Structure 1
């Protein structure tokens, strides 16, 4: 993945007037550079092979090809190139095919700049997050995968959007707040009392936080009885180790 430069975009559109509008739209959005315009299948294939862009803005209807076929070929041969469909095609089967083939977004013409900008900004956030993860780790957590798939700009909104059944965002925030006050960690029973829920409910929230690597759990061996799981925020654990 190329670093420290604008995201390179190839426009594949047989109507040169529309292609020029898309290029001007790109010029108004920071972080993007239009590297070429292709108006036919041969031009598109050639420029994709030569330029290896990060992103393709692709129409469906062409005199000499179906854009979905080009999408399929591109995804098969160059998996690191992403595609946003920009087309007048409204048929559900075409939308479904594009989604199955892995398009980042599907924009129906006529293109409104605000919708165009929103899509490109989301792609930029996705691209930067992917670059960051590839530099820092060889593996990713479930939450990091969810952020990429859900394409949310705000991490808090992302976590809310992907909450499993039975997990309320407000209660979850209270649980995190309670854990944040104690560096040594808390048991499910203590968290339940502080939040005002049952021990079973508290444990459900705590285990969810463990599953997304927001907190860690360890066993505490008391003088009497069975060992209990103690939960501690990852941030607090790091601070504790640094002291």
Structure 2
């Protein structure tokens, strides 16, 4: 079983997310917290495998709490669940090794899918390493840079994916670029990469006599 600590300042969401965890096979909610201080105390007491972390806590910003956790020796994995849509927050989460970032609001199916992805990656990292191929497979499971095409950045890829997941409908390369702070050409490269992997759908939008606009939607 994967033990989970649920952290959110809204007690209603704590109860909902705990229920989601309990409905997912292989996971159990062992504790909850509503502040940074409560989170640190729960980490000491329960030693969970995973923390579901809201970023907007009353006493500390969630990513600052992650830094404090690491400084105090807590290596628990962190899964951010937040309404924070700023690209700076997503970039910081990537740099801090956050295993997933899910924007509120969301449904149970999407939540469960993310937990199952995490469980699969965790199981992959527990394998025996016999040669370079095993190392490469482990990095591919975590989405690390070795799994990306040459010239691609894992951090940018995750920003593009988050923007596409969060889009209300479809996005053009220009719209994606504006949201995450990269060039249109760069955004299009990453969007096309997602489409080639079957993770995004592409549709053409015709307007006037010019070249049709390519629009992307998360699958």
Q: Could you state the TM-score of these two structures normalised by the residue count of structure 2?
A: 0.62
- Cα distance between partner residues in 1 of 2:135 and 2:125: 14
- Cα distance between partner residues in 2 of 1:138 and 1:56: 31
Q: From 129, 144, 147, give the equivalent of 2:140.
A: 147
Give the secondary structure class of the aligned counterpart of 1:63. coil
Give the secondary structure class of the aligned counterpart of 2:29. strand
Q: What is residue 57 of structure 1 aligned with on the other side?
A: 52
**Given the alignment of the two structures, is residue 106 of structure 1 paired with residue 101 of structure 2, yes or no?**
yes
- Cα distance between partner residues in 2 of 1:138 and 1:42: 42
How far 1:105 sits from its partner (Å)?
0.7
Cα RMSD for the two superposed structures: 2.3
How far 1:78 sits from its partner (Å)?
3.5
How far 1:74 sits from its partner (Å)?
1.8
1:111-155 CA distance string (max 9 Å, x none)? 221211111000111111222x2xx3487634223333228xxxx
Unaligned runs of 5+ in 1: 1-5, 152-158, 166-243
Q: Is the 8 A contact 2:53 2:81 kept in 1?
A: yes
Q: Which one has a bigger Cα radius of gyration?
A: 1
1:43-93 CA distance string (max 9 Å, x none)? 111001111110000011111111111111223333531000000111111
Change (3 A) 1:48 1:142: same
Q: From 7, 28, 38, give the equivalent of 1:12.
A: 7
1:151-207 CA distance string (max 9 Å, x none)? 8xxxxxxx9x65669xxxxxxxxxxxxxxxxxxxxxxxxxxxxxxxxxxxxxxxxxx
Q: From 87, 94, 99, give the equivalent of 1:92.
A: 87
Q: Is the 8 A contact 1:9 1:55 kept in 2?
A: yes
- Cα distance between partner residues in 2 of 1:27 and 1:145: 27
**Given the alignment of the two structures, is residue 69 of structure 1 paired with residue 87 of structure 2, yes or no?**
no
Q: From 2, 21, 27, give the equivalent of 1:26.
A: 21
Q: What is residue 121 of structure 1 aligned with on the other side?
A: 116
Give the secondary structure class of the aligned counterpart of 1:53. coil
- Cα distance between partner residues in 1 of 2:45 and 2:24: 24
Unaligned runs of 5+ in 2: 152-219
Aligned residues: 149
